[in-house]
Amino acid sequence: MNYLEEAKLKYENLKHKKDVLILSIESSCDETSIALVKNGREVLANIVSSQIDIHKLYGGVVPEIASRNHIKNISGVLKEALAVSGKTLQEIDAVAVTYGAGLMGALLVGVNFAKTLAYSLRVPLIAVSHVHGHIGANYISYAELEPPFMCLMVSGGHTAIIDVKDYCSFNLIGSTVDDSVGECFDKVARVLGLSYPGGPNIDRLAKQGQNTIKFNYKAPLKDSFNFSFSGLKTAVVNFVHNKEQKGETFSKEDLACSFQELVTDELCIKTMKACKELGQKKLVVAGGVGANSRLREKLQQYCDENGVKIFMPILKYCTDNAAMIGAIAYYYILADKGLADLTLTAKPTVGI
Ligand code: KG4
Ligand code: ZN
């Protein structure tokens, strides 16, 4: 039997196997991560090697540097993941990997590493969408969570409202027509001279400020579930440049707070409207911006007021990690999805 025939057979058998151990790999941006996840729910190890300190020097992720560091780190991350889990490679039932969306060179490191592992272990290779992985972060945060639910996806690459009908059935309700919310946080942080990644720094600064600054901005797309953040980003940048040109001072804390209030209002209002109009009583948050303390606080409040039960990933699973990829990969297998052969390649963009 050749590799592909063997992998297909094993993939079919996994649908009925009592315990399925997945080794998952994530390298779409600047985190090299490998996890071991049992039955989509139990994280045996989740090693994340972050390159933040390297990219901080350049004010953002430098794709070529990210790829090189993934190559440097990935074998060590695998060794550590196996050691922490107490498992051997021979016990792995399948290898899952993020194939997109993300930085092409960075993704390719994970994809090629995964192909090599799957082929040498003669186990199925599962190609996972990064966005679906972010939703999977909730299955390892809440044992009781099951679809259907509404999802607010807020990351550096995506901003969307998704109607999740089943584990692998995703219906896009609305998405950004320009920048993602994470990009907007990072841009505003940069103009304030805060280091990369900007989101957590805005979050921290905003706690010390007041919502007192009015930007020259009106929230667009009022009657749609789509988002637009480029106008707000420009309004904030113009505000700062204006002040600088006039030699006037302003409170960075107040600016961070006022900006964050506008963004979180926009996200909360549209998400709650989607829940109401589609009659959904469960909301799931996904993606790095889901770690924002004010967004979490406001969404909780909106949901309490509207009788919606909210699930937000525990903080370490909000930002990029391999455990979330291993979680959703399990449900890919059950839904007969994701089986890849050795021609698998990376994709910089992937639809919902
Ligand atoms: O999901 P993620 O780790 O990577 C992508 O898939 O893009 O999201 C990264 C984004 C960055 O823009 C980062 O600034 C933002 O998430 N982020 C935050 C916070 N923590 C991370 N934004 C606002 N507040 C935070 N606490
Ligand atoms: Zn991500």
Longest dimension (CA), the chain: 74
- CA–centroid distance, residue 2 to ligand 1 (Å): 42
- Across 169-193, average pLDDT: 96
286's enclosing H/E stretch is strand 282-286
Atom 14, ligand 1: residue with shortest CA distance? 199
Return the ligand 1 atom nearest residue 28 CA. 6
Q: Hey, where are the domains in the chain?
A: 3-138+318-340, 147-313
Binding-site residues, ligand 1, Cβ < 6 A: 29, 155-157, 182, 185-186, 197-200, 203, 287-289, 291-292, 319-320
CA distances from 69 to 66, 128, 155, 257 (A): 5, 22, 22, 35
Threshold 0.85, pTM exceeds: yes
Q: Quick check: 98 and 72 in contact, CB under 8 A?
A: no
Q: What percent of the chain has pLDDT over 90?
A: 97
Give the pLDDT band of residue 63 (cuts 50, 70, 90): very high
Q: Which residues pair with 162 in a beta bridge?
A: 151, 172
Superfamily in which the 147-313 domain is placed by CATH: ATPase, nucleotide binding domain (3.30.420.40)
- Asked if pLDDT for residue 218 goes beyond 90, the answer is no
Ligand 1: residue of 176, 319, 320, 352 to mutate (most ligand atoms within 8 A of CB) is 319
Mean residue pLDDT across the chain? 97
SS3 state of residue 284: strand
- Asked if pLDDT for residue 252 goes beyond 90, the answer is yes
pLDDT the model gives residue 78? 98
Q: Quick check: 76 and 105 in contact, CB under 8 A?
A: no
- Express each pLDDT in 16-52 by its tens digit: 999 999 999 999 999 999 999 999 999 999 999 999 9
Ligand 1: residue of 289, 315, 328 to mutate (most ligand atoms within 8 A of CB) is 289
- Across 296-321, average pLDDT: 98
Q: What percent of the chain has pLDDT over 70?
A: 100
Ligand 1: residue of 155, 181, 191 to mutate (most ligand atoms within 8 A of CB) is 155
Least confident of 91-95, 101-105, 217-221: 217-221
Give residue 103's identity as a one-letter amino acid code.
Answer: L
Joined together, the tokens standing for residue 182 give: 């994470």
- Across 248-254, average pLDDT: 97
- CA–centroid distance, residue 186 to ligand 1 (Å): 8
- Across 109-128, average pLDDT: 98
- Asked if pLDDT for residue 265 goes beyond 90, the answer is yes
Atom 21, ligand 1: residue with shortest CA distance? 288
The CATH class that applies to domain 3-138+318-340 reads alpha beta
pLDDT the model gives residue 219? 86
Q: Is 3-138+318-340's fold the same as 147-313's?
A: yes
- Across 245-269, average pLDDT: 97
